[in-house]
């Protein structure tokens, strides 16, 4: 690690840096990675000094990086959100090479993004009218990733205060505490913002609910986008098809995603109840007679009962059973992998983990097929070599 003096020198006198620094991948295209250096890896020693300036400059440093051949040979992919070590920094041209990918805390296949701390699920109360069944489908899908979900209902200006309260009450019975906002009426935005600071959030939800409008509002300073990096690849980098992380002014990162309307429920039937907070609560308090209970007609089931979304549970269960049967029929893991390689969508080759019993404490690597979500960004933000 450089001393402060050396680092200031490095900023002032362009040179190639062989020391390793750590940063986060903000965007990926083809085999290039935009990496923002960590403030922590460049924090000056606590001497009184005039290094504030150098520090704040360094804090904002974004480098255009390639991946070391060794990583390619290992088949080590680099995704948006990855924390990486970079070497061979050329401060003049803001270029470097990624030499190592640090262990991932979370991992989503689609969108291809690592280390997300929460999913911000956005729905609109009107335009399009909120549909409880579709909302439940998204919630279940999000819950199945094992990443915390924050529910946001936008366009609060289009309904009455009474309607907003009704939705709030209803969703609380489902186990959610929604943030109700309106971009147009400046409603609830500070509260929303407070949930986003200091973490990495991926925004998803149906088309037209205001995801991009909200994201753009939250990151008003467009200079914070990675396109401040000058480079040969600037053309065509910022189509909405790319997953890209943006810095929030008060800390935290956010990635907008294209809307989709019908996520698949390709989970194991026996796990489905865990993705309904109401059912989870029942299972936490008591147990069904059979450990593999699907909560339909089994005797002494604690999940079956009088809760609003039980009917949805049954409908989704049928779908999950169809999915499971198709997987079973498709045979061994090899054929699953082949199907995956052919892009046929059987992405989940690992068994679904029971989030309650088997959750790994430090390294959640639940890979989810959110392919409906990112059908059209498939090729864009992954590493294709």
Ligand X SMILES: Nc1nc2c(ncn2[C@@H]2O[C@H](COP(=O)(O)OP(=O)(O)OP(=O)(O)O)[C@@H](O)[C@H]2O)c(=O)[nH]1
**Shortest-Cβ-distance residue relative to ligand X:** 259
CA distance 368 to 107: 8
**Closest separation between CB of residue 259 and Mg ion, Å?**
6
Sign of CA dihedral 134, 140, 144, 150: positive
Q: Is the Cβ–Cβ distance between 117 and 200 less than 8 Å?
A: yes
According to CB under 6 A, which one of 158, 302, 314, 321 is a site residue for ligand X? 158
Q: Is the Cβ–Cβ distance between 259 and 209 less than 8 Å?
A: yes
Q: Is the Cβ–Cβ distance between 275 and 315 less than 8 Å?
A: no
Report the Cα–Cα distance between both ends of the chain, in Å, rounded: 32
CA distance 19 to 7: 11
What is the bridge-based pairing of β-strands 32-37 and 62-67?
antiparallel
* Residue 208: DSSP 8-state: T
330 contacts Mg ion (rule: CB under 5 A):
no
**Closest separation between CB of residue 355 and Zn ion, Å?**
17
Which of the stretches 28-36, 103-111, 209-217, 313-321 binds ligand X when contact is defined by CB under 6 A?
209-217
157 contacts ligand X (rule: CB under 6 A):
yes
According to CB under 5 A, which one of 84, 254, 288, 317 is a site residue for Zn ion? 288
The binder of 360, among ligand X, Zn ion, Mg ion, none, by C-beta within 5 to 8 A per type, is: none
Binding pattern to ligand X, positions 173-192, x when CB under 6 A? ---------xxx--------
**Closest separation between CB of residue 172 and Zn ion, Å?**
24
259 contacts ligand X (rule: CB under 6 A):
yes
Which of the stretches 60-68, 207-215, 300-308, 355-363 binds Mg ion when contact is defined by CB under 5 A?
207-215
Q: Name which of 184 and 296 has its Cβ closer to ligand X.
A: 184
Q: Name which of 229 and 254 has its Cβ closer to Mg ion.
A: 254
Phi and psi of 84, rounded to 5°? -135, 155
Q: Is the Cβ–Cβ distance between 130 and 124 less than 8 Å?
A: yes
80 contacts ligand X (rule: CB under 6 A):
no
For 114, the token pair is 């690592």
According to CB under 6 A, which one of 16, 76, 100, 212 is a site residue for ligand X? 212
Residue with tokens 């998803």: 204
CA distance 147 to 278: 17
Q: Name which of 105 and 261 has its Cβ closer to ligand X.
A: 261
According to CB under 6 A, which one of 175, 208, 277, 345 is a site residue for ligand X? 208
According to CB under 5 A, which one of 19, 76, 134, 212 is a site residue for Mg ion? 212
What is the bridge-based pairing of β-strands 83-90 and 113-114?
unpaired
Residue with tokens 């090479």: 97
7 contacts ligand X (rule: CB under 6 A):
no
Give the Cα-Cα-Cα angle 234, 57, 223 (nearest 5 degrees): 40
Residues that bind Zn ion (CB under 5 A): 288, 293, 295, 301, 303
Residues that bind ligand X (CB under 6 A): 154-155, 157-158, 182-184, 207-213, 258-259
């Amino acid at each position: 690690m450089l001393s402060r003096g050396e680092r200031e020198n490095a900023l002032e006198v362009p040179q190639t840096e062989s020391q390793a620094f750590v940063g986060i991948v903000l965007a990926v295209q083809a085999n290039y990675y935009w990496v923002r250096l960590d403030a922590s890896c460049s924090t000056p020693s606590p001497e009184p000094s005039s290094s504030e300036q150098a520090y704040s400059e360094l804090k904002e440093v974004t480098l255009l990086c390639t991946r070391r051949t060794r990583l390619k040979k290992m088949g080590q992919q680099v995704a948006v959100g990855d924390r990486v070590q970079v070497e061979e920094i050329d401060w003049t041209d803001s270029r470097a090479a990624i030499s190592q990918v640090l262990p991932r805390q979370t991992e989503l296949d689609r969108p291809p993004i690592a280390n997300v701390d929460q999913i911000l699920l956005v729905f609109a109360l009107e335009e399009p009218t909120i549909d409880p069944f579709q909302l439940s489908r998204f919630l279940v899908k999000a819950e199945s990733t094992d990443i915390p979900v924050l529910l946001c209902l936008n366009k609060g200006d289009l309904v009455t205060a009474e309607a907003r309260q009704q939705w709030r009450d209803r969703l609380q019975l489902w186990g959610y505490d929604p943030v109700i906002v309106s971009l147009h009426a400046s409603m609830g935005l500070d509260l929303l913002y407070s949930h986003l600071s200091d973490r990495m959030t991926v925004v998803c939800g149906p088309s037209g609910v205001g995801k991009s409008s909200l994201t753009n509002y939250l990151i008003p300073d467009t200079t914070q986008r990675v396109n401040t990096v000058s480079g040969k690849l600037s053309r065509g980098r910022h189509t909405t098809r790319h997953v890209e992380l943006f810095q929030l002014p008060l800390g935290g990162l956010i990635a907008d995603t294209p809307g989709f309307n019908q996520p698949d429920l390709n989970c194991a039937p026996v796990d489905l109840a865990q993705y309904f907070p109401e059912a989870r609560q029942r299972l936490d308090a008591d147990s069904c007679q059979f450990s593999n209970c699907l909560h339909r007609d089994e005797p002494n089931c604690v999940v079956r009962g009088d809760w609003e979304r039980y009917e949805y549970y049954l409908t989704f269960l049928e779908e999950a059973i169809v999915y499971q049967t198709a997987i079973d029929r498709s045979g061994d893991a090899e054929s699953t992998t082949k199907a995956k390689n052919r892009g046929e969508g059987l992405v989940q080759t690992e068994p679904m983990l029971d989030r309650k019993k088997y959750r790994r404490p430090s390294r959640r690597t639940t890979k989810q097929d959110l392919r409906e979500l990112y059908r059209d960004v498939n090729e864009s933000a992954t590493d294709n070599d």
